[in-house]
């Protein structure tokens, strides 16, 4: 495997976007997961939720046209789509915890084979900040992670047990990585798709827990983005 | 009924040392900058401040922290584009932090306003933020008990208000504001437009006036994010 033989961030985002159905209510985590919104398949339109109180927000406005009372959870300026709604924070998190969102897609430091997620804190130093991450992992019908398969130094991010502080327990059901698409069922990583140029052995070697196969593994193929 | 105050200084005049103060806003949207700065001019100390964040730059809550007024922050995300004020005091052990997940923070405030002393949520189960809290299982799933959150005062930014205290908000500047209005013993609101009773369509009221005690009109209020981008700071009395 060369460094090039993995999906780019845009390609990971594209792949995740293919699974979002038309009309789905979706929350994308701050930062990289927000990129998923760019790659909705033609003819499908998801409705994006942001924790600070907007449903159906759109892209950033042109520079200079920002309204700083119209921001997303990452405090970036956004626009509204026709049919948008505002609401207060208790309603916003009722949408989250109450099972009203179809999909939440979050970043990860580590995901365990039991579906535990660590994504808010590396250690005990510095100023801790959690935001809405611990709420977002509960309630959406599907809670997914989108992440590089390994860290910058090559350590697996998919592990038997998280070593970083947890965001939530047994909450993740699907992972989109730079190498593979993996479901979590019954406390196991189940491989659904992998890069066609990567052998099972190569993929397993970069994964910190056993990958299980239940049905033929698909090819993870995306456009050049 | 007329809940109007003459100015921001009069509106916040009852806030004394040691008060627990909810401050509306999410980042800069909905932050009641003029009321916060009036509070800095009065300079009560040893405050507990409840907000989603812990200030940004050198204005608003950050300027309160810089002025040594804040003993404790209860918030979900004490980071920002310029978090110096909180970070320096926190790392020096000069300010306490109670970190609360954002949705739990909102619900604790709502519960405080709704007379619900505790509730169970799945949020934070199995994490360090649930340590020491009662756990109970409902329908086979574990939940964490969280307590209500109340305050002596809430200081809030709304868009329109009438003399009865009925409020509307501007876009995503609504955020925590309606919840905090409910959860404080005394709620003080700055509004861009203050009208007579009847000037807001009852169908459009977001916060009913029963949750509001004092109102002050601040036409063309400052927007925190815009101030930060302009490099503004507040040290009391004047904008340098």
A132 touches B: beta carbon within 8 Å: yes
Rounded percentage of chain B residues whose pLDDT exceeds 70: 98
Rounded percentage of chain A residues whose pLDDT exceeds 70: 98
Give the mean pLDDT of chain B: 96
A132 vs B101: CB contact, 8 Å cut-off? yes
**pTM of the complete model beyond 0.90:** yes
DSSP-derived pairing of the beta strands A211-212 and A188-194: parallel
Closest CA–CA distance from residue B177 to any residue of chain A (Å): 8
The pLDDT of residue B40: 97
Domain-embedded: residue B118: yes
The pLDDT of residue A139: 87
Domain-embedded: residue B50: yes
B79 touches A: beta carbon within 8 Å: yes
> Residue B27's domain is classified under what CATH number?
3.40.1080.10
For the stretch A67-114, pLDDT in tens is 999 999 999 999 999 999 999 999 999 999 999 999 999 999 999 999
For the stretch B109-135, pLDDT in tens is 999 999 999 999 999 999 999 999 999
Q: List CB contacts (< 8 A) between A134 and chain B.
A: 101, 103-104, 123-124, 127, 129
Q: How many CB pairs under 8 A join A and B?
A: 143
A131 vs B102: CB contact, 8 Å cut-off? yes
Rounded percentage of chain A residues whose pLDDT exceeds 90: 95
> Residue A206's domain is classified under what CATH number?
3.40.1080.10
Domain-embedded: residue B236: no
Nearest CA in chain B to A66: B226
Q: How confident is the model at residue A124 (pLDDT cuts 50, 70, 90)?
A: confident
B178 touches A: beta carbon within 8 Å: yes
Question: Contact A40/A46 with Cβ under 8 angstroms?
Answer: yes
| B224 pLDDT above the threshold of 90 | yes
The pLDDT of residue B239: 52
The pLDDT of residue B236: 72
Domain-embedded: residue B169: yes
Segment B80-94 mean pLDDT: 97
Domain-embedded: residue A180: yes
Domain-embedded: residue B167: yes
For the stretch B9-53, pLDDT in tens is 999 999 999 999 999 999 999 999 999 999 999 999 999 999 999
Q: How confident is the model at residue B237 (pLDDT cuts 50, 70, 90)?
A: low
Domain-embedded: residue A98: yes
The pLDDT of residue B238: 53
| Residues of A forming the active site | 51
Q: What residues make up the domain containing A117?
A: 3-58+65-219
The pLDDT of residue A5: 86
| A4 pLDDT above the threshold of 80 | no
Domain-embedded: residue B240: no
Nearest to B194 by CA among B221, B171, B173, B172: B221
Nearest CA in chain B to A70: B172
B107 vs A132: CB contact, 8 Å cut-off? no
Q: List CB contacts (< 8 A) between A138 and chain B.
A: 121-123
The pLDDT of residue B240: 43
Rg of the Cα atoms in chain A: 18
Domain-embedded: residue A225: no
ipTM score of complex:
0.96
Domain-embedded: residue A197: yes
The pLDDT of residue A208: 98
Number of domains in chain A: 1
Q: Is the dihedral of CA A15, A20, A22, A23 positive or negative?
A: negative
Segment B96-109 mean pLDDT: 98
| B97 pLDDT above the threshold of 60 | yes
B174 vs A88: CB contact, 8 Å cut-off? yes
Domain-embedded: residue A75: yes
The pLDDT of residue A1: 45
Domain-embedded: residue A224: no
Number of domains in chain B: 1
Backbone angles phi, psi at A32, to 5 degrees: -50, -45
Q: What residues make up the domain containing B25?
A: 8-127+134-229
Q: How confident is the model at residue B235 (pLDDT cuts 50, 70, 90)?
A: confident
B168 touches A: beta carbon within 8 Å: no
Say how many C-beta atoms besides its own lie within 10 A of residue B231's C-beta.
8
The pLDDT of residue A123: 81
* Residues A104-134 as b or e (16 or more Cβ within 10 Å = b): bbbbbbbbbbbbbbbbbbeeeeebbbbbbbb
B124 vs A134: CB contact, 8 Å cut-off? yes
B82 touches A: beta carbon within 8 Å: no
Segment A145-171 mean pLDDT: 97
A135 touches B: beta carbon within 8 Å: yes
Segment B140-152 mean pLDDT: 98
Sequential DSSP letters for B4-67: B-SSHHHHTTT--TT-EEEE--BTTBT--HHHHHHHHHH---SEEEE-SB--BTBBHHHHHHHT
A89 vs B103: CB contact, 8 Å cut-off? yes
């Amino acid at each position: 495997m060369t460094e090039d033989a993995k999906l780019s961030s845009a390609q990971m985002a594209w792949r995740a976007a293919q699974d979002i159905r038309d009309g789905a209510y979706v929350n994308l985590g701050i930062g990289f997961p927000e990129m998923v919104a760019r790659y909705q398949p033609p003819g499908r339109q998801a409705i994006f939720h942001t924790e600070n109180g907007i449903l159906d927000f759109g892209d950033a406005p042109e520079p200079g046209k920002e309204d700083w009372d119209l921001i997303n959870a990452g405090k970036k300026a956004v626009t509204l789509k026709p049919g948008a709604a505002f609401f207060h924070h208790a309603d916003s998190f009722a949408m989250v915890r109450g099972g009203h969102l179809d999909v939440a897609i979050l970043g990860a430091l580590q995901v365990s084979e039991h579906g535990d997620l660590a994504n808010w804190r590396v250690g005990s130093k510095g100023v801790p900040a959690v935001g809405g991450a611990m709420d977002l992992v509960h309630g959406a019908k599907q809670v997914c992670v989108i992440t590089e398969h390994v860290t910058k130094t090559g350590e697996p991010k998919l592990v038997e047990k998280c070593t970083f502080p947890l965001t939530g327990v047994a909450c993740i059901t699907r992972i989109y990585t730079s190498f593979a698409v993996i479901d979590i069922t019954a406390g196991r990583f189940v491989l659904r798709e992998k890069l066609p140029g990567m052998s099972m052995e190569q993929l397993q070697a970069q994964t910190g827990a056993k990958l299980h196969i239940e049905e033929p593994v698909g090819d993870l193929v995306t456009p050049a983005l | 009924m007329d809940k109007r105050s003459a100015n921001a200084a009069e509106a916040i005049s009852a806030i004394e040392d040691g008060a627990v103060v909810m401050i509306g806003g999410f980042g800069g949207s909905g932050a009641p900058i003029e009321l916060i700065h009036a509070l800095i001019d009065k300079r009560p100390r040893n405050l507990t401040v409840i907000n989603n964040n812990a200030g940004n730059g050198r204005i608003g809550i950050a300027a309160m922290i810089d002025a040594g007024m804040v003993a404790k922050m209860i918030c979900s995300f004490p980071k920002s584009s310029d978090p110096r004020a909180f970070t320096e005091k926190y790392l020096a052990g000069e300010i306490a932090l109670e970190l609360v997940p954002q949705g739990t923070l909102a619900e604790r405030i709502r519960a405080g306003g709704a007379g619900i002393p505790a509730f169970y949520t799945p949020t934070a189960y199995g994490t360090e933020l649930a340590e020491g809290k009662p756990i109970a299982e409902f329908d086979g799933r574990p939940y964490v008990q969280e307590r209500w959150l109340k305050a002596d005062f809430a200081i809030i930014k709304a868009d329109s208000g009438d003399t009865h205290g009925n409020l509307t908000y501007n876009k995503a500047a609504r955020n925590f504001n309606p919840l905090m209005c409910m959860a404080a013993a005394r709620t003080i609101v700055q509004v861009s437009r203050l009208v007579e009773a009847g000037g807001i369509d009852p169908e459009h009221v977001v916060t009913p006036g029963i949750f509001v005690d004092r109102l002050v009109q601040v036409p063309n209020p400052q927007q925190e994010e815009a101030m930060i981008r302009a490099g503004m700071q507040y040290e009391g009395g004047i904008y340098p």
